[in-house]
Structure 1
Amino acid sequence: MAWSYSVDIWNLGILMFECLCDKSPISGFNSEGQFDMFVQMAQIIGLLGPPPVELINRIHPECTGSMYFDENGQFKHQRYYPPRNEGTFEFMFSTIPDPQQNEIFIAFLKRMLRWLPEERASIDELLADPWMSSVQASRNRR
């Protein structure tokens, strides 16, 4: 897979997530504090849902696709999923006091954090997002 600006959009989404939650949604650390790539993939799936089969099919066999997914595109290591809904956007941002701001911020993040790189918003699309408009409106009121 070729890389483009979409990887920067992904990284911006993760960075914004970490700044507001004070933790990474996809750290990959297990309960003993050790990095585990299966835990990290489970965290990504917990956050975004399962990857599209189209993406799994893009991964070369020499890559890690077969380590993670079976021939039907099912994650092989489901025991690593975060408990209940703890890995979801809604759970992670449940402490934002304004439900409307919470909702539009989550929608903003979801435009950046998408499995398929070509489905991620461009920077121009993000700048025109309702959440960015609300931030600007908030600054103008000061």
Structure 2
Amino acid sequence: MDYFHQQLDGHHHADVMLGPRHLIPTVIVQYEFIVRLLERASGGARRRLLQVAAAYCGLATWLYQDTGDLGQATVWANQTLELAHRADDAQLVSHALTNKAMGRDGRRRRAFDGRAVLVGPSGRSAAVPEGASASHAAGGTRPRDAR
């Protein structure tokens, strides 16, 4: 599990330097790998994998929010919450619910120079060209079910 946690830390640092669109594909591939590991895991290892899978989903949620693709962010936020419940981790459930609420209420659009600007709870903004599809630019995907 240490490997996946180290990767998450690296992704958070890379997001600052590269932006979310560059990280989304990597995060999703790693999440899918964790899901494959879950298929064979049991006991404590399974619970820890569920927790790390939820963390990856949480990061995907944030990355999609940051691109302005709130539809994909919602899909990933729902998966985060489901995994947190399945891990039976009350703190992770609370965190997932808080992030869902912040994602839903913490964004607003405003006109700026002919472009939509997404402003998040942190005050960061991302300009989206008028008529551009943030989902297309970010490569919108659905999380693979972790059974």
What TM-score, normalized to structure 2? 0.31
Higher share of residues assigned helix:
2
Query: Larger strand proportion, structure 1 or 2?
Result: 2
Considering only CA atoms, is the larger Rg found in Structure 1 or Structure 2?
1
Q: TM-score, normalised by structure 1?
A: 0.32
